[in-house]
Amino acid sequence: MKRLPAYPVYLALSSATAFLFSMIFTATSLYEVTIAQLNPLQLVLVGTMLEASIFLCEVPTGVVADVYSRRLSIIIGYFLIGAGFILEGSLPLFGTILLAQVLWGLGYTFTSGATQAWITDEIGEEAATQAFLRGSQFSNVGGLLGMLAGIGLGNVQINLPILLGGALLCFVGVALVVWMPEDGFKPTPREDRNSWQHMLYTFRGGLGMLQQRPALLNIFLIGLFYGLYSEGFDRLWVKHVVEDFTLPALPGVTEVVWIGLIRITGALASLLAVEFVRRKLEGSQPGKMIRVLFALSALLVAGLGTLAVLQGSFWWVLLPLWCINIARSAIEPLYTAWVNQRLDSNVRATVISMSSQVDAIGQTVAGPLMGVVGKLVSVRAALGLSTLILSPILGLYQRVLNKPDQAEQS
């Protein structure tokens, strides 16, 4: 069967995986809180296990993508991610949920870096920035539909979206075997593929990019702060909403419906915001992209800080969560595009994987602290600590912007 062009495959992959992840995540937080009955520390340790797995595997799997095949790496990744979710949804036990994080964390590292490097090689670096933004929009649409599916399935049985989503992620791997092209990548010659020395050489080439492009150090430092704050928010916001706010009592409307509605409205706002950003940045210089990242990060800090101090009526929680969703949805593709600039193709996946590893380090280091604060003090205190940890990122962006040459050449 003839393989499809890369760009539509990338958009289809973005929307399909966002649909499935969104369907799964609509249920996982409530599943872990209500069925597995995890406490705040256990909730964050689940995330820490995931991020520790990413930290350990991110660069080695990125090297595999640079040496062997981006396509193969991505396909392996989705099979592993699917298996992880199937395991989590099957047994609501703390130990098996931890093991599931190892599986899907490993799978994620096979896709992280490889996906961005693959589409960049297929369509070119300049077109890739717009592709990342357009892919984010397709992800938002897929995510919206996935939330609706997750709400419906979760109302039937809370673990059903997790089990079905895991199975369908494995099917995504099958679909990629059939339709995903790989024409722009030049693999390592066969005689060198089994050489650990060559894989070490590729890794060193990734480190060498830090010398050729010193701005990467600032970019990675900013990425570290994104990682440091995020685990507390990702793992605890649902618990905060369920326990610190009064959800409206309507016949037949369960907690999973209200959490799903928060996600849906946030995704709609994010979809419009990313389109606005995409149009503003079309054909613009890197310095303008960094200024937009600064503004989005300021919105993220403000939203997170507001969320941490609120409690009471459910309706109060919507605005800060919308701000957080909008900022995060737009930051992710722009940050990836920033890292992706001026990278050599033969180390592209490795360097992008390094940026993901920096994020994983931040989440692994800060996550347990957030869990301890959430358990011993309160979830609101943990979210407030996340805000304080994220705040220095604004000074880091300002430092880059105060050096015009670095901003333009980053």
Fold category of 6-177+198-409 in CATH:
Growth Hormone; Chain: A; (1.20.1250)
In the DSSP assignment, the letter for residue 341 is: T
**Distance (Å) of CA 353 to CA 62, 284, 360:** 6, 26, 10
According to DSSP, residue 188 is labeled P
Q: Which two tokens stand for residue 101?
A: 């994080």
**Cβ within 8 Å of residue 123, ≥6 positions away:** 6, 7, 131, 184
- Answer yes or no: are the C-beta atoms of 150 and 23 closer than 8 Å: yes
Question: 64: closest CA among 54, 76, 55?
Answer: 76
Number of neighbouring beta carbons within 10 Å of residue 110 = 27
Higher pLDDT, 356 or 85: 85
| pLDDT, tens digit (0-9, with 9 covering 90-100), for 89-125 | 999 999 999 999 999 889 998 898 788 889 988 998 7
**DSSP annotation string for 15-51:** HHHHHHHHHHHHHHHHIIIIIS---HHHHHHHHHHHH
Average pLDDT over residues 337-347: 71
Single pTM value for the model: 0.70
Q: How confident is the model at residue 276 (pLDDT cuts 50, 70, 90)?
A: confident
In whole angstroms, what separates CA 116 from the centre of its chain?
13
Percent of the chain topping pLDDT 90: 31
- Range 150-177 average pLDDT: 94
334 confidence band (pLDDT: 50, 70, 90): confident
pLDDT of 365-382, one tens digit each?
Answer: 888 888 889 888 998 999
Per-range mean pLDDT, top range of 10-14, 42-46, 289-293, 326-330: 10-14
From residue 83, alpha-carbon distances to 32, 78, 165, 167, 387 in Å are 18, 9, 10, 7, 34
Q: Is the pLDDT of residue 197 over 70?
A: no
